[in-house]
Amino acid sequence: MEKNEAIPAQPRGPEARRAEAAADAKLLLRLARTGALATLDSHAGAPLVTLVGVASDFDGAPLFLLSTLSRHTRHLAADPRASVLLTQPPERGDPLNHPRVTLGGRIERIDGESPRRRYLARNPKAKLYAGFADFGFFRLRVEDVHFNGGFGRAAPLAVADVLSPLDAEAALSEAEPGLLDWVNGKGDEAVARLAGRRSSGRRLWKAIGLDAEGLDLAAGQLCARLQFASPARDVEGWRERVQTSSRHETR
């Protein structure tokens, strides 16, 4: 082989393609702030699709803040089966050549401080109406996954491929407010580096949520994700993952 001869790229196997698709789908679950929600109208016998705000629960399952007066919530009261399409607006190019994921399952009312905290951290303007009597928080119990990464990149994924492990949920959920304060206390420049961005006086990055596999960050309407190389099983392990990422970013 001549020295300047190009080495052909090796085709990726199905497991590598599946792992890449799962990573893209997980990222959509964590970064999406709106979704297209499809519910079933039992009277009309037809689906209804509406735009709703979205956040992610600890395992990545979608969270919603819905009004009981809305048509789609009335549908869910009669039949909880639904699906939601999540995507990210592309900065350029054909939108159909960018990843999107559709999750199917049953949407159920959920109470507790954690869903409220997680949703409002990702959708702060919803604080204006989250306390209204007709609003409540809901969660999609994911039963089906349909992922399309763009042209020629559809991949069969199972629920376990896109949801994060729950074995650290109790410890990390309880510690989440303190851990986020610890990250944000590192200063604007350090937090921006964790988001893979540079600090700007007009746009300050802030840590807004966490789970066993990473950290979610936001600056206004922009959002980013620090994904760990391996899940953290406890608070100290989670801190160590962030510290390691911080050291890598400053090199």
List the chain residues with pLDDT less than 70: 1-12, 90-91, 199-201, 247-251
Does 177 lie in the same domain as 151?
no
Q: What is the pTM of this model?
A: 0.88
Q: Which of 129, 147, 163 is the last residue of a domain?
A: 163
Same-domain pairing of 175 and 76? no
Beta strands in 33-166 (DSSP E): 34-41, 46-53, 55-56, 62-67, 81-87, 100-109, 135-148, 154-155
The pLDDT, as a whole number, for residue 153 is 77
The 10s digit of each residue's pLDDT in 74-107 is 999 999 999 999 998 766 778 887 899 999 999 9
Q: Please choose, from the candidates 34, 17, 57, 13, the residue with its C-alpha nearest in 3D space to the C-alpha of residue 148.
A: 17
Residue that finishes a domain, picked among 111, 134, 163: 163
Q: What is the 3-state secondary structure (H, E, C) of 77-108?
A: HHCCEEEEEEECCCCCCCHHHCCEEEEEEEEE
Same domain, 157 and 235: no
Residues 238 and 143 in one domain: no
Q: CATH number of the domain that 56 lies in?
A: 2.30.110.10
Residues sharing a CB contact under 8 Å with residue 82, sequence separation 6 or more, in sequence order: 37, 38, 39, 40, 75, 76, 104, 105, 106, 107, 140
197 & 74 share domain: no
Query: In terms of domains, do 6 and 128 share one?
Result: yes
Phi-psi region of 199 (alpha: psi -120 to 50; beta: other; left: phi over 0): beta
Q: 30: domain range?
A: 1-163
